Amino acid sequence: MSFLGRGSAPAGGINQERVEMATQELDMITDIFNRIVSSCHAKCISTRYAEGDLNKGESVCIDRCVAKFFEVNKKVGEKMQAVGAAAGSAGPGGFSL
Amino acid sequence: MDFSAMSPAEQAHMNRIIERKQMQDFMRMYSSLVERCFNSCCNDFTSKALSSKEVHFYPPNLRDRSVLTKPIAPPPQEQCVLNCTDKFLKHSERVGARFAEHNAEMMGANMNK
């Protein structure tokens, strides 16, 4: 999932493969960030908008929301890898990450 | 994301890409924010003006404790929109800060696998 220096490239040139991978990683991270902003806003911030500042409760909620999101991200990733490994050992043809 | 392994040409290329994506992201955020605040705040169409509802706040007379249980009127539409925008931007900033902390952790864990 992380970017590893890969592919042979001319010393001053542009290796399309590396740029492509870096772009994909950037897209993925941006997507996760936008989802977190959207989800945590829905969960933590009331829509009354009585004031323009975050109150203490909302701030704490946001911190915890982001932490939980990453936890869930990790758990789901582990589970998917386990499923992928199990499918892989059962026989070829299962999808791999 | 570690760009130090890339050549200067690649880094320059990536910087241009990042700049373009940031602009796109900003435009997307702007329009979604407008929609969000409109949906939350503007529910009264008896007039075209935004601050159509005049709300008079009387100082609470706390000898009469029933004011604490009476429903409080929502803020006028314009103030609501301003608060909504402010709050979202602060929220986004805070999420960004926490995200950066956790992201560093996540990336580090992935590299070590």
- Mean pLDDT computed over every residue of chain B: 82
Banded model confidence at residue A97, pLDDT cuts 50, 70, 90: low
Q: A58, B90 in Cβ contact below 8 A?
A: no
d(CA A4, CA B74): 52
Q: What integer pLDDT is reported at residue A92 of this predicted model?
A: 63
Q: Rounded to 5 degrees, what are φ and ψ at B78?
A: -65, -45
Banded model confidence at residue B54, pLDDT cuts 50, 70, 90: very low
d(CA B51, CA B4): 52
Contacts of A50 (CB under 8 A, 6+ apart): B74, B75, B83
What value, to the nearest 5°, has the Cα angle with vertex B46 and ends B41 and B49? 65
d(CA B45, CA B38): 12
Chain A residues touching residue B107 (CB < 8 angstroms): 2
Kindly determine whether residue B41 and residue A25, on different chains, have CB atoms separated by under 8 Å: no
Q: Does B17 touch chain A (CB under 8 A)?
A: yes
Q: A86, B79 in Cβ contact below 8 A?
A: no
Kindly determine whether residue B83 and residue A52, on different chains, have CB atoms separated by under 8 Å: yes
Could you say which residues from 38 to 97 on chain A have a Cβ atom under 8 Å away from some Cβ of chain B?
40-41, 44-45, 47-54, 58-59, 62-63, 66-67, 70, 73-74
Chain A: closest CA distance from residue B63 (Å): 25
pLDDT in tens, B5-47: 778 888 888 899 999 999 999 999 999 999 999 999 998 888 8
Domains delineated in chain B? 1-44+72-113 (1.10.287.810)
Kindly determine whether residue A11 and residue B7, on different chains, have CB atoms separated by under 8 Å: yes
Q: Which structure tokens are listed for B2?
A: 């570690």
Could you give the count of Cα atoms lying within 13 Å of A63 in the half-sphere of its Cβ? 6
Average pLDDT on A6-27 reads 76
Chain A: closest CA distance from residue B38 (Å): 11
Kindly determine whether residue A54 and residue B94, on different chains, have CB atoms separated by under 8 Å: yes
Q: What integer pLDDT is reported at residue B52 of this predicted model?
A: 47
pTM value?
0.76
CA B12 to chain CA centroid, nearest Å: 31
Domains delineated in chain A? 16-70 (1.10.287.810)
Between residues A63 and A7, the one the model is more confident about: A63
Residue A74 region by backbone torsions, left for phi larger than 0, else alpha for psi between -120 and 50, else beta: alpha
Average pLDDT on B70-92 reads 86
d(CA B29, CA B22): 10
Q: What integer pLDDT is reported at residue B55 of this predicted model?
A: 45
Calculate helix-pair angle for B8-41, B77-112, nearest 10 degrees: 140
